[in-house]
Structure 1
C-alpha cells in the first residue's frame, strides 16, 4: 500500500479491548485468551519451577543422608593407570581401594582417585547403607546449580506448553474468523458487485 508524503501509518495498540464497530466478538475472545494464557503460563511456570527445584533439593538432601564418607586405602599405584577421565572432567582415574564397612568387614572396590597417588595413600570414598561404593553426593554450589537448573527447565517447559496451547487456540480462532468473513462476503458480494457495475 503506497503512502502519500507526510502521512504516517499509526498502529493502534490494544484495539481488541477498545469498543469499535469493526471489532467482532471473536476479537475480544482472542484478547482474553492471550491475557489468560500469559497469566497462566507465568503462574504455572513459577509454581512448577519452584516445586521441581524443591523436589531436586529434597532428593539431593536424602542422598546426602544415605551416603557416608569413609576413609579407604589405595590398594594399587594410580600413577600407571590409564583410565579415561571421568564424565565430570576433574581428571581422576579409577583405582582399586580397600576400606572397612560399618559392619566391620573388609571391602574392596574401584574409586576415583588423583592420577599420581601411590599405593597405601588414604582417600575418602562414599558408601551407601549396605557398604557399597557410591559417587559423592553433590553439595554446595553444585547442588544449588542442579536445583536451579531443574526448576528453570520445568518452569520454561510448563510455561511454554501453556503458551503453545494458547497459540493453537488462537490459530483455530483465526481460521474460524476467516471462514466467517468468507461467508459474509458471499452474502454481500452480489449486491456490492451490482452497485459497482451498475
Structure 2
C-alpha cells in the first residue's frame, strides 16, 4: 500500500510545470485545472472561517441570553406512561414531572427524562418565564461544535465543487486525448499496413 507522501509526490510530479517535450497541450491544461482547483479549496478557507465565526458569535450570544430567559427548577418524577418495546430500548423517554416555580405555583408536565430515572426521583427542568418546560440554554460545547460544523460544511462544499469542476474538465480532456489516440493509431495503421496483392 502506497503512503500518502508517495501519492502526493506522484501528483506533484504529474502536475508541476516543466518543459518536458512529451507533455501534450491537454496535459498542461489539466495541470492548470489542478492548480485552479487547489487555489479554490484554499480560497474556500476564508468563507468557511467567516461562517464559523458568525455561527460562533450567534452561539455565544445565545449562551449569554439563555439563562436570563430560562430558569432551572428542581422537579420530581410523578409518573411514567406505558411504553412500547421500542421506547423501552431508548435512552430517553417522556415522564410526567412536577415542579414548583419561584412564585410558589406548582406545575405538572411531560418532559424528556432519562429512562433510568424512577418515579419519585429528583430531576432538573428548564422553564421559560411563563413556567412552561423549555430546552436548556446553549452551552459552550454546543457553540463550538456548531461553529466547527458550519465552517467545515462550507469548506467541504467548496472542495466538492472544485473537485467536480476538475473532474468534468479532466473528462473533457480525456475525451480529446482518446480521439487523438485513435487518430494516431489510424494514421499508423495506414502507414504500416502491407498492401494486399
Do the two structures share a fold, i.e. TM-score over 0.5?
yes
The 1-side partners of 2:15 and 2:156 are apart by 29
What is the match of residue 53 of structure 2? 54
Residues 111-126 of structure 1 mapped to structure 2, 5 A cutoff: 111-113=111-113, 115-116=117-118, 118=120, 123-126=124-127
Flag the 1:145–1:77 CA change in 2: closer, same or farther, 3 A: same
Deviation of 1:32 (Å): 0.8
More helix by percentage: 2
The range that moved more, 50-59 or 32-41, is 50-59
- Given that residues 111 and 125 in structure 1 are in contact (C-alpha distance below 8 angstroms), is that contact kept between their aligned partners in structure 2? no
Q: TM-score under structure 2 normalisation?
A: 0.65
Question: For this pair of structures, how many residues does the alignment match?
Answer: 178
What is the match of residue 7 of structure 2? none
Residues 1-198 of structure 1 mapped to structure 2, 5 A cutoff: 13-14=13-14, 17-44=17-44, 46-64=45-63, 65=65, 67-71=69-73, 73-74=75-76, 76-77=77-78, 84=87, 89=91, 94-100=95-101, 108-113=108-113, 115-116=117-118, 118=120, 123-127=124-128, 132-187=132-187, 189-190=189-190, 192-193=191-192
Q: TM-score under structure 1 normalisation?
A: 0.65
Q: Secondary structure at the match of 2:159?
A: helix
Structure 1: stretches of 5+ with no match in the other structure? 1-10
Deviation of 1:166 (Å): 0.8
Deviation of 1:173 (Å): 0.8
Structure 2: stretches of 5+ with no match in the other structure? 1-9
The 1-side partners of 2:174 and 2:52 are apart by 38
Flag the 1:132–1:176 CA change in 2: closer, same or farther, 3 A: farther
The range that moved more, 139-148 or 54-63, is 54-63
What is the match of residue 3 of structure 2? none
Encode CA deviations 1:32-79: one digit per residue, 9 max, x unaligned: 1111112212321x23432343343244335442542242544x535x
Flag the 1:145–1:86 CA change in 2: closer, same or farther, 3 A: farther
- Given that residues 95 and 110 in structure 2 are in contact (C-alpha distance below 8 angstroms), is that contact kept between their aligned partners in structure 1? yes
- Given that residues 60 and 140 in structure 2 are in contact (C-alpha distance below 8 angstroms), is that contact kept between their aligned partners in structure 1? no
